[in-house]
Structure 1
């Protein structure tokens, strides 16, 4: 049978129906599952048969959610976590040993940066950062004990793009595990496994949920690697709750239609900002002015919902801009139906030294907008009145 289209898989991938023949899959709010007899229990615990034992290990709702993500990303297997950072931490903790080395893009989420610089070094795991604007230097950081090559694309918060095909070729050449955080793109816009990624991570809290309701994370990819991650998570307990898994699985049914509108709105917002006299520059993957525009067009279906721009006047102007916003939300989250505005230099990245901010292209006037699903004219009107103030 011909492979179903993305949108169809997102809607029609579901658990087998129970004897009640429900149309929408039910919640399985149970901590554990029972066995038919002693032999069934023994065989289940020895993994001679695949079945649910305990919801920390697996649950029908989490299995359905993971199955959908695997089909969307073209992955062999996966595991769902309580949060995106639980997915990031567990992936690295499961696969790395003391003495191992990570090569990562410098532009990573703040908590991931803390993981690399404060937490993993406690266990003898070191990280070297490469400049995303100098991809020809990546191999200079690879050593004999390098095990993982890691990146986000698009990056947070400056919306830089990394050539996934290049990373895939480098990982293959040096026998490295390529791990890509695909949160900003979602599997609808980009599938890193096509370019050589072994594992793909999502904070499902963002666009996958899309409505600011629940937390969640997921790692999918190579079955052998996922097995190691599963065993780590089974014993350390960062599992996704059945309720959140059920919510996220339902959210995936509308992912394509939501992200289409997010991207349509975001491009119009980016084009508006690019023409505004109070703005120094705008970065959006599908703007021709973006430094990695051609790479973005090669590996992404659309440009995503995040727009970054630099407002003239630095931190003072950025704070005034936020204080003058009327409709859009001030929040550190993203990927919501509601448009969210953040000024990283005075909030999410305020604790970074000035030199560290500039390394990841966070200037004093940088503003990040997670463009929502409101009518785009209303979004632009709010941004315009705040800029003009």
Structure 2
């Protein structure tokens, strides 16, 4: 079946007990057992819940993985997956990683001896040069957040395999509809499901996906032991949102392409970061490993004053944290997604005080351009 068909008719599309076209919300904390010697499939909802299981199986299938694990937030998915590593281990991480991942790596995991080297992951040589004897993994985003830099995922995975390392990829921006890192040789895919997978700005959730049986066993143990699970109501809402992923992302992506080209023509816009533009340095690599540029872009304006007026004055795009909803969202990385990153670290990565991230929603692109044009039209 094609991807859009699998979104609707994948695993658990019909409730086997009643024939309902919507999987029930099993709003329970525990399950009655009939035997002291042989417990049923479910015993306590932290360890397993039928609604969560349905969602996990759906996400795994879409990523061409075998196991997915649903967590209470994207950061819970990231942090729980990072518990695969132990004190003394070292990770190579893309330098303009999401600010929450930067924070947890440098402020929490550093406390118990997990060390990190941040590199320009657009260069496989830079990744290779940062590998040490104690290195255990490579953590990547492609496109990265917020500068949408592109990493050669197949090349990075091949490098990692040659060194016996685990490759982890945050695939939030692309979703499995546009990019499937497991197919490119990567070991683990992470999502903030809050974004495009749910797509309606009403759930906070995260996922970790793999097709490696041993890694799945370890992540499953962490999910149960650490306990940062996703509740059944939020699982049901995400299952609902997932069904329209293809049509939502196609429409938003089409608008994003149009808006990116318009922005690139405005003299008050210094630079547009979007892999759908031919001048993007990662254009060829991205086209090779993905089937579209996605619905998120960022751009730099000529002054902080203009940036402030735009963010505070737009009417159709919400000035807010997050992305991937049906509504357009303008974010300010310096004080939102990357506020946890010290100013000098942001500056070194090119995350300036005039950088704006734009998650394009389902509004008419003409209306969005008109709204932006009140501030930055040529």
Structure 2 residue aligned with 1:169, among 152, 158, 182?
Answer: 158
What RMSD, in angstroms, separates the aligned Cα atoms of the two structures? Answer: 1.5
Asked whether the 8 Å contact 1:13–1:64 carries over to 2, the reply is no
**Deviations 1:197-255 (Å, cap 9, x if unpaired)?**
11100000001111101111110102211211111221221011011111111211110
**Deviations 1:171-212 (Å, cap 9, x if unpaired)?**
111010000000010010000011111110000000111110
Helix, strand or coil for the counterpart of 2:47? coil
Q: Distance in 2 between the 1:125 and 1:345 partners? A: 26
Structure 2 residue aligned with 1:35, among 26, 33, 36?
Answer: 33
Query: What is the correspondence of 1:255-334 to structure 2 with a 5 Å cutoff?
Result: 255-313=245-303, 315-334=304-323
Aligned partner of 1:117 in structure 2 is 106
Asked whether the 8 Å contact 1:322–1:386 carries over to 2, the reply is no
How far the C-alpha of 1:58 sits from its partner, in A, is 1.2
- Gaps of at least 5 residues in structure 2 are none
Structure 1 residue aligned with 2:221, among 226, 231, 235?
Answer: 231
Q: Distance in 1 between the 2:246 and 2:305 partners? A: 38
Q: Distance in 1 between the 2:164 and 2:327 partners? A: 42
Structure 2 residue aligned with 1:246, among 236, 254, 258?
Answer: 236
2:14 aligned with 1:24: no
- Gaps of at least 5 residues in structure 1 are 45-50
**Deviations 1:29-49 (Å, cap 9, x if unpaired)?**
1111122222322xx5xxxxx
**Deviations 1:230-281 (Å, cap 9, x if unpaired)?**
1122122101101111111121111011110111010000011011121111
TM score, norm. by length of structure 2: 0.96
Aligned partner of 2:203 in structure 1 is 214
Structure 1 residue aligned with 2:177, among 155, 170, 188?
Answer: 188
Structure 2 residue aligned with 1:10, among 7, 21, 26?
Answer: 7
> Which range is displaced more, 9-18 or 159-168?
9-18
How far the C-alpha of 1:361 sits from its partner, in A, is 2.2
Aligned partner of 1:364 in structure 2 is 353
Asked whether the 8 Å contact 1:319–1:346 carries over to 2, the reply is no
Q: Distance in 2 between the 1:292 and 1:278 partners? A: 24
Asked whether the 8 Å contact 1:263–1:305 carries over to 2, the reply is yes
Query: What is the correspondence of 1:199-210 to structure 2 with a 5 Å cutoff?
Result: 199-210=188-199
How far the C-alpha of 1:286 sits from its partner, in A, is 1.2
Q: Distance in 2 between the 1:236 and 1:350 partners? A: 27
How far the C-alpha of 1:7 sits from its partner, in A, is 1.2
How far the C-alpha of 1:68 sits from its partner, in A, is 1.0
Aligned partner of 1:47 in structure 2 is none
Helix, strand or coil for the counterpart of 2:173? coil
Q: What is the aligned length? A: 376
**Deviations 1:346-388 (Å, cap 9, x if unpaired)?**
4443564443113322122211101010111111111111224
TM score, norm. by length of structure 1: 0.93
How far the C-alpha of 1:134 sits from its partner, in A, is 3.4
Helix, strand or coil for the counterpart of 1:337? coil
Aligned partner of 1:148 in structure 2 is 137
